Structure 1
C-alpha cells in the first residue's frame, strides 16, 4: 500500500494527488508545483520544460481553457493534446471534444500542441501562417 500512495504523491510538495499532470518521462506532479516551477523564466520563452524530478526536457503545453482554480477550489490546468490554429488555443482532451463533435468546428485545423503561437503568426499581416514553402523553407500566411 505504501508504494501505491508513493506513486500518487507529488514529489515536490509530498501531497497526495487530487489531479496529476503526467510528463512524457513518466513522472507526475500536482498542477500547483508545475506552475510554480515553470511559471517564470526562459522555459516559457523556449516552449521547453524540465521535469522537476529527473531534469529531462519536455515540450509540455498546458490547456488554455482549463481554469486556474475549478469550482471545488482545486488548482489545476491539464496538459494540452492539440492546438486549434483557427481558435488559437491549446486544448486538453476534455476541451478538445467540442472540436471533434460539433460540425461548426470541422474546418478548424488541429495540430500537435504549440506553446507560443506568436511564432506562428505573420508579423506583417497578424494572421496565422497557413502554408509552408518547401523551396524557401519558410511559413507564409
Structure 2
C-alpha cells in the first residue's frame, strides 16, 4: 500500500514535459501543472503562432497566460523530496508511441512536425523554423514526419526521388531518368500524385457513400430492434394485466361462492 502511494505522488507531482519532479510549479488555465521553465520554453517555441497550447490536453490560449508559482504544489514537492523520491533521468524521449522524434533536440526529444528530404532529418517546431525563414532552405522539400526518409533517396545516385516512371511504375531520381529509364514515360512525382488523387476521388466518394449507407442501415436496424424491445415490453405488460384480471375474477368468484354457501347454511 505504501508503494502505491509513492507511485501516485511521483506521477501527480511530475512535469509531463521534463518528466521530473516539478521545479517552481505553475498551474496553467486548463488545470495542468508544469515546471515554470519547461512551460516557458514550450510557449517560447509557439511565439511565432501567437497561440499557446497545453502539451497534455492541447487546449489553446489566446494571449500568453501569466505564470505564477503554485505554492501548494511547491510544498508538496518538498515533502516528497524529503521522503527520498528519485528523479527521472535527463536523457529521455517525450515523443508518443508511433511518433517521430526531432533529430536536432539534445537530451529530451520533442515530436517532429516535418521531415526534410534534402537534409534527411526530422524537425520539431522550433528547429524547423530556419526552413521557413532562411532563403537557403527554400528549395528543400518538407514532408510529414517519417522514420523511413532513406526510402525517398535513390540508392544508386544518392539523389531525392522526384520523378515517377510510368513505364516501370516507380519513383526515380533525375539521374535515373537520364540513364536506365531514358526514353520512358516520366512525370514529376507531384504531378503523378495529383493525377492519382483525381482518379481515386470517385472511388473514395463511392466508399464514403457506402459507409454512410451502412451507417444508415445500422441505424434503421437499431431502431427496429428498439421497436421490437418496446413491443415485447408492451406484450409483457399486457400479459401481466390479463393475469391480474383473471386473478381478480377468480377471487371475486370465490367470494361470491362463499357468500352463497353462507346464505344457504343460514336458511
CA deviations over 1:26-57 (Å, ceiling 9, x no partner): xxxx984548xxxxxxxxxxxxx984xxxxxx
What is aligned with 2:102? 63
Residue in structure 2 matched with residue 43 of structure 1 by the alignment = none
CA separation in 2, counterparts of 1:50 and 1:134?
38
TM-score under structure 1 normalisation?
0.54
Question: Greater helix share, 1 or 2?
Answer: 2
Q: Distance in 2 between matches of 1:7 and 1:107?
A: 46
1:108 maps to: 140
Once the 2 structures are TM-superposed, how far is the Cα of residue 105 of structure 1 from its aligned partner? 1.4
Does the 8 A contact of 2:115 with 2:143 survive in 1? Answer: yes
Partner of 1:6: 12
- Structure 1 match to 2:177: none
- For residues 41-87 of structure 1, the C-alpha deviation after alignment (integer angstroms, 9 at most, x for no partner) is xxxxxxxx984xxxxxx2x21111112xxxxxxx3111111111112
Q: Aligned residues, how many?
A: 106
Where does structure 1 lack aligned partners over 5 or more consecutive residues? 24-29, 36-48, 52-57, 68-74
Instruction: Say which SS state the counterpart of residue 99 (structure 1) adopts.
Output: helix
Greater Cα radius of gyration, structure 1 or 2: 2
Q: Of Structure 1 and Structure 2, which has the larger fraction of its residues in strand?
A: 1
1:1-141 correspondence runs (5 A):
6=12, 15-16=20-21, 32-34=91-93, 51=97, 58=98, 60-67=99-106, 75-133=107-165, 136-141=168-173
Taking structure 2 as the reference length, the TM-score comes to 0.32
CA 1:121–1:7 in 2, change beyond 3 Å: closer, same or farther? farther
- Structure 2, unaligned stretches of length 5 or more? 1-7, 23-34, 40-54, 57-88, 174-267
Q: Is the CA contact (8 Å cut-off) linking 1:31 and 1:77 kept in structure 2?
A: no
